Amino acid sequence: MADLTKALRQLREERSRTQKQLKRLDEAIDVLGRVVSGTGGGQGNGRHGPRKLSVAARRRIAEAQRARWAKCLRKRQSGHKPALVLRWRRFSRD
């Protein structure tokens, strides 16, 4: 009977150690999860939400895009044909 009592005590001690270790692992996982997602206390990945562009920057981007579209339209109206035309393959719906 003494052997069973000793074995039971050892099992309970092992369970206690394992629970402490599991708690430490859970804490480590939580910390790493916050670092990866950027919600942790510290610097994280350096981003704190979406970047904000100034009105002037948005205006410059819009003007550049309009210039690109105008260039494409001028080429199309002048009869310029691209050397290679890529077309999407169509698959039947059957």
pLDDT tens, residue by residue, 35-55:
887 765 555 455 667 788 999
The Cα–Cα gap between 56 and 68 comes to 19
DSSP 38: T
The more confident residue out of 76 and 7 is 7
| For the chain, domain boundaries | 2-40+54-77
- pLDDT value at residue 87: 65
pLDDT band at 1 (very low <50, low <70, confident <90, very high): confident
The Cα–Cα gap between 80 and 74 comes to 9
pLDDT at residue 23 is higher than 70: yes
63 Cβ neighbours under 8 A, 6+ residues apart = none
- pLDDT value at residue 12: 95
- pLDDT value at residue 90: 65
